[in-house]
Chains A and B, each alone.
Chain A
Amino acid sequence: MKHNKFSYKLGQFLMFAGPAGILFCAVVIIPFFYGLYLTFTSWDGVSKTKPFVGFDNYKAAFADTAYWQALGRTVVYSVIAVILVNIVAFLLAYLVTSGIKGQNFFRAGFFIPNLIGGIVLGYVWKFVFNRAFVAIGEAMTGQTTPSLLSTPNGAMFCLILVSVWQYAGYMMLIYVAGFMSVDQSLKEAAMIDGCSPSKAMWNVTIPLMRSSFVQCLFLSTTRCFMVYDLNLSLTKGEPFNSSVMAAMHVYNQAFVYKNYGIGQSEALVLFVICAVIGVLQVYIGKKGEVEA
């Protein structure tokens, strides 16, 4: 059998990529295009008929002020959370690669929050904010302390805090890998040339870790933009629907308010925004990558 025949190559390809390809099609590609089709119907989610309405859903989505508010809120949340997650993750990674005592224990410890699902994590923190912090506040000030979750800004703060707590450990692992991949000899060479440790960090280590930054920023941005589970269990959109993020609004629109078509078109808009941000950021990040 010739190894460069098309049928042979196809066979080889299907053998390795076929099963995964079929699954990927079944759970991602087909639903995506079916969803695209649904955006042109006024389906309510359960009805047997799916009347075709053209671009009405997109018009409704663009006119849905609550959606744009939620999207704006998501942008604010994502920007702050992404910056904080990465700063904290970087510092933690620096800490646990600097050779302190018990650093493997700390690595595991910082990573563990990421193993708890968003829903459970949300409920645990809700208890902490609503009961524990309130009790501490009352004990310290001697008067009733409102929970942080009861004001719009407080709820946003809580969401960001918990996200940072959840994702920092995960991103830390990527930064740890980045730190390890930078050859010690390069840093030493810089030090011999007269760099201070902080200069060596800034001018040698960080540029060589650029791919870790690109990965972490990409992962944390997309995760923050699509946040739903934490949003649901920690604030549920309260108080006064002021902490409803884009994904939650899309879910409510589609399933709770039974405007499936509008919800689906809003989801598509969210997808496009995420895709553009993600691709742009990876493109810009990769462009300036350097190798030792």
Chain B
Amino acid sequence: MGMSWKRMGAIAISSLLAIGMLSACGTSSSSNETKITIFNSKMEIQSQMEEMAKKYSEEKGVDLEVYYSSDTVAAHLATKYASNEPYTISMVDAKDVYSLAEEHAVDLSDQDWVKETDQAIAIDGKTYGFPVSVEARGLIYNADAIKKVTGKDFNPEDYETLDSFKELIQELKDGGMETPTGIMKEDWSLAAHFLAEVYEEQPDPSAFIKELHDGGVDLNSNAKYNSLMDTFDVLKANNYAASTAISAEREVTEQKLAEGQIAFMFGGNWDWSVLNQYDYSENMGIMPVPEDTDDGSNQKLVGGGSKFFFIDNSSNTSDAQRTAAKDFLNWLVNDDEGKSFIVNDCSMVSPFKNNTLTVADPLGASVKEYADAGKLIPSYNYMPDDHYSVLGAEMQKYLAGEVDRAELAQAIEAYWKSATLSDDTK
């Protein structure tokens, strides 16, 4: 007597189940339309991206899908590459372009849009990174809130130096705004954005970082470190959450700024997506971080191209997909709908010269103004991957008053001595 039907059935079902579970890991799509996938790493534009993808798919006969992950960009892409399922187009930070592009990205040098922008990333003469937007950092102000207290129009250019800024803070306090500033305690804001300006505002950031690495910098006597930390101290002393600085939530801080309970917060134009969730004041903007210096850095914002698209070059992506991906990038630059998507739908500042739409959001408008006037200090894109986390923790200690400025300087110097520099700095 051989196997009974029941037993055969059991074997068949169990193996089917096993195979089914295994194949669920892979993906199988069989449609005639070219399908391209986009990885979006800007949470604030995810819904706009999805809507755009739907419309784009209908109009262009390309199946466009947008994905988002709250993981660190590099970590998320690592898992996608490890499973041989890279996105056709990935939106990454500048540093990721430098670390990924040569192995994973398509050379885009022959594309027409290259000459329309200064912000594209090229490595060894080949353009790999398509700039999505221009972003810049500075001090976000609420002009309406200031005017309400002082009774005068707020003109950011009057407060380039720390002394004049302090006077304004005092005036605000006297007028009843007891704590005119807010500080985001997030490590990326403190270390990757604020502390980074210490390097970025040096005459030659690469050389400065190399010197830090070699142990040749005494931060305590460094003019830039001190002038920026002086400003930080003023922000810290007048922080609405001074005693609870490291548990202050970003949303609360931004809400207070938007509604005018505080007047200043260090941040960038990406903060608009949070600010506009609240009952925001009409006249807001970004100004350079006030500083007692005469190198002109207190007249400029720090920033440049932010978030870059690159197209995957692996065999997991077909040539048809790559062509469709290039078409999509061209659409963003040259098509009226694409231009409007960047500026109006996502309220980003376009890095392309042929995109002359006016930015509706006030922070973006400030950035555009400074960018057009050539008043942007380029961001430093070669930071080691653990910089924001390790020194973010040190900055948080400083913010909480656990260490003083000299100890912070020591920690920064110690970090850089043991840090592995990227090839571009060496």
Contact = CB atoms under 8 A, between A and B. Distances in A.
A150 B384 CA distance: 27
A23 B402 CA distance: 51
A255 B389 contact: no
A169 to B, nearest CB: 28
Contact of B99 (A19, A241, A258): A258
B18 A19 contact: yes
Contacts of A241: 389-390, 393
Given A46-B104, A240-B394, A23 B386 contact: no
Nearest to A14: B11
Interface of B is mostly: helix
Interface stretch (A99-107, A141-149, A189-197, A216-224): A141-149
A255 to B, nearest CB: 3
Given A46-B77, A238-B396, A241-B393, A22 B18 contact: yes
A4 interface: no
A240 B396 contact: yes
Interface stretch (B225-233, B244-252, B355-363): B244-252
B243 A144 contact: yes
A13 to B, nearest CB: 13
A196 B300 CA distance: 81
Interface in A1-50: 1, 15, 18-19, 22-23, 26, 44-48
A279 interface: no
Contact of B74 (A46, A144, A147, A238): A46
Contact of A255 (B22, B75, B393): B75
A256 interface: yes
Given A19-B18, A47-B103, A48-B103, A238 B75 contact: no
Chain A contact residues: helix, strand, loop or mixed: loop
Contact of A146 (B7, B185, B243): B243
Interface in B1-55: 1-2, 7, 10-11, 14-15, 17-18, 21-22
A271 interface: no
Interface string B331-344: 00000000000000
B385 to A, nearest CB: 5
A146 B247 contact: yes
A171 B103 CA distance: 49
B192 interface: no
A239 interface: yes
A257 B249 CA distance: 25
Interface string B107-147: 00000000000000000000000000000000000000000
Interface string A219-252: 0000000000000000001111110000000011
B100 interface: yes
Given A150-B247, A239-B247, 4 more contacts: A145-B244, A146-B243, A146-B247, A239-B396
25 contacts: A1-B2, A18-B18, A19-B14, A22-B18, A45-B78, A45-B82, A46-B81, A46-B99, A46-B100, A130-B249, A134-B244, A144-B243, A144-B244, A147-B244, A150-B244, A238-B185, A238-B187, A239-B246, A240-B402, A241-B393, A242-B393, A255-B78, A256-B72, A256-B75, A256-B385
Interface of A: 1, 15, 18-19, 22-23, 26, 44-48, 130, 134, 144-147, 149-150, 237-242, 251-252, 255-258, 260
